[in-house]
Amino acid sequence: MRLAELAGILSLATDAGTGMPDEHGLRVAILAVRIGEVAGASDDERRDAFYLALLHYAGCTSESDRAAALFGDEIEFGGTTLGLDYGRAAEMMPAIMRFVRRGRGALGGLAAMAKAMAKMPSMLEVGRAHCEVAAMLAGRLGFDAAFQAAIAQGFERWDGSGRPGTAKQEQIARAMRIAHVAIDADVGVRLGGVETARAFVKKHARRGLDPELAERFVAGAASIVKAIEVPSIWTAMLAAEPAPHRVADDDAIDAALDVLADFTDMKSRFTRGHSPAVAARAAAAATRIGLGAPIVKAVRRAGLVHDVGRVAVSASIWDKTAPLTDAEREKIRLHTYVGERVLARATALADAAEIATAAHERLDGGGYHRRLAGASCTAPARLLAAADVYCAMIADRPHRPALTIDAAAAELRAMAARGALCPDAVDAVLASDSPSRAKKPGALTERELEVLRLVARGLTNKEVASALSISTKTAGHHVQHIFEKLGVTTRAGATMAAMQRGLV
């Protein structure tokens, strides 16, 4: 299987999670290669630009809760502000204020704007967290240190006004500068065609974009844009990757699906570690009932990706403590449809995708999104559904604390008795012990490990202090020591490190 297919799936998921138009990342990858060609970029630069275009938003789920707290619906905000220059406060601040005050009336709107202004300083860390997590995920996909450094520059700008603000002009990797031009080019095309793209890139030259690369695009825009005027963007994306193509063997595929699982689970602080836990328990149950190695592998992979469409729903819904509205429930029901469409692109994952997209179906037809029933739910899908429900029950959720193992088992059996879950699948899941994935970083003390787990669950320093009966200052010191020992600079980076090691 080609790595571009796996990166393409992740790109499609990031589009859904950021409010970008469908296939934005795929189109940017194609444009980046073409811009690199007209700019005389080397094969390595064009190859890196291709993958940077697909992956540079990979950290977008890392601070969804913080963005949702500011904007209400971080995904809708992303779509609403398409085409605005994020590096210019004069463009962004009016848009932010209009967005947060909408539908709130005069006084409510003022209060919302004041609240948003108070939260703005904390948003500076969000961009840094996105870049750090994207670099960590790229490393897990097998990309070298130079590529990871380049992807960490995803929000830097030519004039030095970007984030984290440590690079400008030629200090930004050329492949990343090519990807930046391609991003703006695609947005321009979306907003009004080739001429709008030309004007858009020209406007941003010397601000966010390398002026030489911008000029190359402006001069050859008509020819460059033809590369995305095709019936199948997915096919064109695969064809655009400079040779030799990166290929993923079985182990690399598993590593990539682990990445996709952690990318998904970062969306909500209540789901971190959920997908790998579901995958392990479902695979153990499949082994127990003797389904055979190929099906066990498909079940495990399905567990890793069964919730990928979750990123298309705002964190404000996933983390809501109050009862959900009908509209919010409908958005949740549709997340499996998004996941189905994302996973359908990679034909090599067809077996796992078929199982994954039925994880929320129920035997009585009360599941979603296809409302399958009875014989339409295969044995692997029944196992995955039972494992998913069980793992969710024994974890905290915004509306309830975690159930005990006995209480979760009783509820699972009750669902089987009502005809929602398969009794045999429930028995297999409850009888299976999934192996622990926990790999403690050797440098961390036991206390630091406790703190890391709480940070990964989204707790502030004050909340960590309360949970462990220590002072807030001491909790802060522990967090800083954890950052140093893990080689990260943000709470999102520490969370990703904890998830990678199976600590949550």
pLDDT in tens, the chain (504 residues): 999 999 999 999 999 999 999 999 999 999 999 999 999 999 999 999 999 999 999 998 888 888 888 888 899 988 988 888 877 878 888 888 888 888 788 778 777 778 777 766 666 677 788 999 999 999 999 999 999 999 999 999 999 988 888 899 999 999 999 999 999 999 999 999 999 999 999 999 999 999 999 999 999 999 999 999 999 999 999 999 999 999 999 999 999 999 999 999 999 999 999 999 999 999 999 999 999 999 999 999 999 999 999 999 999 999 999 999 999 999 999 999 999 999 999 999 999 999 999 999 999 999 999 999 888 999 999 999 999 999 999 999 999 999 999 999 999 999 999 999 999 999 999 999 877 777 878 789 999 999 999 999 999 999 999 999 999 999 999 999 999 999 999 999 999 999 999 998
The predicted structure's pLDDT at residue 444: 93
The predicted structure's pLDDT at residue 267: 95
CATH number of 3-238: 1.10.3210.10
Written out in words, the top-level CATH class of the domain with range 250-431 is: mainly alpha
For residue 397, the cross-strand partners are 400
- The alpha carbon torsion through 274, 280, 282, 284 (nearest 10 deg) reads -160
For residue 209, the cross-strand partners are 205
Residue 2 is given by DSSP the state: B
The predicted structure's pLDDT at residue 120: 64
Please state the length of the chain: 504
The predicted structure's pLDDT at residue 123: 64
The predicted structure's pLDDT at residue 255: 96
For 247, list phi and psi in degrees, rounded to 5.
-115, 140
User: Where do the domains of the chain lie?
Assistant: 3-238, 250-431, 446-500
Compute CA distances 500 → 87, 145, 276, 439, whole Å: 32, 18, 10, 9
Residues 6+ apart with CB under 8 A from 37: 46
Helix, strand, coil % (nearest 5) of the chain?
65, 0, 30
Alpha-carbon distance of 63 to 268, in angstroms, equals 9
Domains 3-238 and 250-431 share a fold: yes
Residue 367 is given by DSSP the state: S
Written out in words, the top-level CATH class of the domain with range 446-500 is: mainly alpha
One-character DSSP codes across 152-192:
TTTT--TTS-SSS-S--GGGS-HHHHHHHHHHHHHHHHHHH
Instruction: Please give, one letter per residue, the 3-state secondary structure of 103-151.
Output: CCHHHHHHHHHHHHHHHHHHHHHHHHHHHHHHHHHHHHCCCCHHHHHHH
